[in-house]
Structure 1
Amino acid sequence: MPSSDLKIRQVEAFRALMQRHTVTRAAQALHVSQPAVSRLLADFETGVGFTLFERQQGRLVPTAEARVLYDEVERAFVGLDRIALAAQQIRAMRRGSLTVAGSPAVALELLPQVVAGFLGEHPGVDVTLLTHSAQTVVELVASQRCDVGFVAEAIPHQAVRLERLTDAPLRCIVPFGHRLEKKRVLRPADLRDEPFVSFPRSFDARNAIDRVFVEHAVPRQLIVEAQLSRTVVSLVANGAGVALIDAVTAAYAGKDVAVRPFEPELRDPVYLASAAAQSLSAVAAAFVVRARKALGDLVA
């Protein structure tokens, strides 16, 4: 009676003989002895319940049934080969998907640069880059709708682990040709009565900026607010005023405005957000390594 308890090694012996035509070559391919191959074939033939090979002039010739079965075996082994290839590609980080979310200050210019370099090293990985508020980024990470997030504010969430990646000082930006462009370092007194472009009052950076000017008793003309650092740069470039912005945006703003250090230093952190309950995938971990280095190089 045919048995359904077929062994993979029996199938491999059958496949090797079909491909290499002799027991000797099949044994070499499988790195076993000829008697071992003969035994595997005999057990396989018993298992399937019909004759697979006929001996003709000292050679084993496959029957018509064997040829039909071989077609099915090949389809199965192609599937196994595809699984093995996929595993190899995953190990080499040349296959998979990655969803990254970031606050605008990080996601508009820095992360696209990181993504482009990452794809050059890991072709075959699909990357999705999302730009949202820090609150939304943290929620995406918490719900596992993205793999990693980069935020400029520490938004607490029990399902999210926050790691500070950098803590760089804010930079002062002024329009080209402005009287302050000639100064190497700017201080609160230098900005007395200047039109000032601010972030909304809900931003941590806005509160820190306002506090330092109050402490130094320096009035400003608070004439316009903007939510995005990149928008603040455009407003300053068009002569709307001066501003303090994060170091990441400032690193890319030199073509549009004059960028200067500001004292006293106001530190502005960038955090990595990841799911607290699980570790990063190999692909996500490799991306974080590249992002961490790019961020460090940018604000150094």
Structure 2
Amino acid sequence: MSSTDLKIRQVEAFRALIQRHTVTRAAQSLHVSQPAVSRLIADFEESVGFTLFERQQGRLVPTAEARVLYEEVERAFVGLDLIGHAAQQIRAMRRGSLRVAGSPAIALELLPAVVAQFVHAHQGIDVTLLTHSANTVVDMVASGQCDVGFIAEAIPHPAVRPERLTDASMRCILPLTHRLASKRVLKPADLQGEPFISFPRSFDARAAIDRLFVEHGVQRQMTLEAQLSQTIVALVANGAGVALIDPVTAAYAKPRVAVRPFRPEIRDPLYLVHSVTQSPSGITALFCAQAREALTRLVGQHEALPRVAAKE
């Protein structure tokens, strides 16, 4: 006899009869008729090749072989119960894993806040949060190393599907005691001759910033370059100059530097990226929804013009 000769319903009837002691009770537990249970037991005995129950004083009593077999059946059903419990936990978002990668602009401040809230609400979910360049994030999502990515610039890839999360404007940041900190909105002419901290030339944001100042005929003192917005914030806080940075970093930088709207606006989009070959799991979809909501709320809070004493 091979394992494929056995039918799960036969095994269930055998197990129920052992536990309930009578055909009547076994039938009730399985929600079938008594003859159906008797037929299942007979078929099961034929499949295994030996007698499972003997009738003694009007009752069916398990044979010694049946008791040994029952121990194996119980071990198998414990495994099935564990599978059912795992499925229930997965449905309830209480079990599973999530691998998230993000560019520094979003992965160093915003995503940790979202992850902390997510794991608190869904205990049992294992989350990995990685910080990489946009190109590396896209490659990790495309290769399946991460479930979802968040990037600060559009990186085309045939295996990745991008979704624009926000398209907010960049902010100007200044030392807290800077002479321009009293202005409500800053313009290119305000930064004439100012020491300016910029991104490297390879960055899309750098090209957009430089182009705007050229169009307005404004000369800045290009004193420093830094790769990360957080590094630029630290340089500005220490009085090294002024800068334009992404709105997410600017929102978290307010205690350290003065943050002001800049006109004309330089849009700074953020993207969420999924694999095109694999649909996101329920856990991934829920996390993305929470990240999207948190980003919208954060950027929305800082889109309004700040209240300062001086005029524009």
Determine if the TM-score, normalized by the shorter chain, exceeds 0.5. Answer: yes
- Unaligned segments of structure 1, at least 5 residues: none
**SS in structure 2 opposite 1:255?**
coil
Match of residue 232 from structure 1: 232
2-structure distance, mates of 1:233, 1:52: 77
Structure 2: distance between partners of 1:277 and 1:116 = 29
Deviations, residues 145-171 of structure 1 (Å, cap 9, x unaligned): 111111111111111111111100000
Q: Match of 2:132, as an amino acid?
A: H
Distance 1:19 1:190 in 2: 85
How far the C-alpha of 1:4 sits from its partner, in A, is: 6.3
Which runs of 5 or more structure 2 residues have no equivalent in the other structure?
301-312
1:55 deviation in Å?
1.8
Deviation at 1:277, TM superposition (A): 2.3
TM-score (norm 1): 0.96
- The TM-score with structure 2 as length reference comes to 0.93
Deviation at 1:207, TM superposition (A): 1.0
User: Once the 2 structures are TM-superposed, how far is the Cα of residue 2 of structure 1 from its aligned partner?
Assistant: 9.9
Quote the Cα distance in structure 1 between the aligned partners of 2:4 and 2:202.
69
Q: Please give the secondary structure, in 1, of the residue aligned with 2:270.
A: strand
Deviation string for 1:119-178 (max 9, x for gaps)? Answer: 122222211111010111111111111111111111111111111111000001111111
- SS at structure 1 position matched to 2:130: strand
Distance, in Å, in 1 between the alignment partners of 2:43 and 2:156 is 63
Q: What is the rounded CA distance, in whole Å, between the counterparts of 1:279 and 1:231 in structure 2?
A: 36
Single out whichever of 39-48 and 202-211 deviates more from structure 2. 39-48
- Letter paired with 1:223: T
8 Å Cα contact 1:174-1:242 kept in structure 2: yes
Contact 1:2 1:48 in 2 (8 A): no
Taking the aligned partners of 1:167 and 1:43, their CA distance within structure 2 comes to 67
What's 1:290 paired with? 290
Q: Following superposition of structure 1 onto structure 2, how do residues 43-82 of structure 1 map, counting pairs within 5 Å?
A: 43-82=43-82
Task: Give 4+ residue runs of structure 1 displaced > 4 Å after superposition.
Answer: 1-4
1:141 aligns with 2:141: yes
Corresponding letter in the other structure for 1:95: R
User: Quick one: percent identity of the two aligned structures?
Assistant: 76
Q: Give, in angstroms, the shift of residue 92 of structure 1.
A: 2.2
Partner Cα distance (2:50, 2:8) in 1: 18
Q: Which amino acid aligns with 2:223?
A: I
Moved more, 50-59 or 198-207: 50-59
RMSD of aligned Cα (Å): 1.5
Partner deviation per Cα, 1:190-216 (whole Å, 9 max, x = no partner): 111111111111111111111111111
Cα offset for 1:90?
Answer: 2.0
Partner of 1:101: 101
Task: Give 2:140's aligned amino acid.
Answer: L
What is the CA–CA distance in structure 2 between the aligned matches of 1:257 and 1:3, rounded to whole Å? 71
Letter in 2 for 1:281: S
Corresponding residue number in structure 1 for 2:154 = 154
**SS of equivalent residue, structure 2 residue 97:** strand
Q: Distance in 1 between matches of 2:102 and 2:3?
A: 57
Once the two structures are superposed, the pairs formed by residues 1-300 of structure 1 within 5 Å of their partners are 5-300=5-300
